Structure 1
Amino acid sequence: MSTCMAQDSLANLLKRYNTKHIPYITVQELAMPKTNYKILDAREPDEYLVSHLKNAVFVGYKDFKIETILNEIPNKNDTIVVYCSLGIRSETISKKLQDKGYTAVYNLYGGIFEWKNNDFPVYNQQNKKTDSIHAFSKMWGKWLNKGVKVYDLN
């Protein structure tokens, strides 16, 4: 029952902050074997160093540069999944990709928090599995129900 309520609350949160111009992909869909997605992490460097999805390419948010993506993913028909903590910042970055002509861009519903809440693995800066998740802030960290919340590296 609480999972249902949490999902409704997450849905309401994303509805409040997102425009839904970018389609969502669920963590379950992304975790399916043999998926060939380019995964982009649209968080800040400290967040990525603490935890990220396997094979995710760090692209940042505040210092995001579209040129990096144009060089990294020249085929604008490649399937791209962008994530952040919950799916709010990643929608902004996804829209920038879409505006540059990328045709198959998806926003990870619930971001890395939802990924970890569903017991999928995350990796640290040494690319080893970790239970630590950068929770961004106390306000946003409340959405992370599993793992060890990290707020600052210092």
Structure 2
Amino acid sequence: MKEISVNELKKLMDSGADFQLIDVREPNEVAQANIGGLHIPMGNMADNIDKVEKGKQVVVYCRSGRRSGTVVEFLERKGFDNAYNMAGGILAWKAEFDPTMDVN
């Protein structure tokens, strides 16, 4: 499984790179804190796989990186070779960039 650090993701965002960001957390988690991206809860990914871009880098995140890692592995099994797990999830983002986020 390929991973990307929060620092690498921030560089992608700041550079205006063309990539897809997907949040696989539950709606209540997204309401607490998020960094954007398409919201597809992990349990709904199989039904929404057509929304995942094949022609650009896809970065998947969750709270800690565990669920998003599972989703990246699922995508790889479905033929996606462009999916990356955001290591550490939103908790790592909070620690590195935004300690005011309401996530624990």
Q: 1 CA distance for matches of 2:17 and 2:96?
A: 18
- Is contact 1:77-1:103 (8 Å) kept? no
Q: Which consecutive unaligned segments of at least 5 residues does structure 2 have?
A: none
Length, aligned pairs only: 101
TM-score normalised to structure 2 length: 0.84
Structure 2 SS opposite 1:133: coil
Do the aligned partners of 1:38 and 1:81 also contact (CA within 8 Å) in 2? Answer: yes
Amino acid in structure 2 at the alignment position of 1:119:
F
SS in structure 1 of the partner of residue 44 of structure 2: coil
List alignment gaps of at least 5 residues for structure 1.
Answer: 1-21, 122-130, 136-154
1:97 and 2:97 aligned = no
TM-score (structure 1 length as normaliser): 0.59
Q: Which has the higher helix share?
A: 2
CA contact (8 A) 1:85 1:112 kept: yes
Using CA pairs under 8 Å that are at least 6 residues apart, name the structure with larger relative contact order, 1 or 2.
Answer: 2
Give 3-state SS (helix, strand or coil) of 2:21's partner. strand
1:62-121 deviation line (CA, Å, top 9, x unaligned): x22323131x23x42321000111111101111111111112110001111111111159
Separation in 1 of the partners of 2:77 and 2:98?
31
Q: Report sequence identity in percent.
A: 30
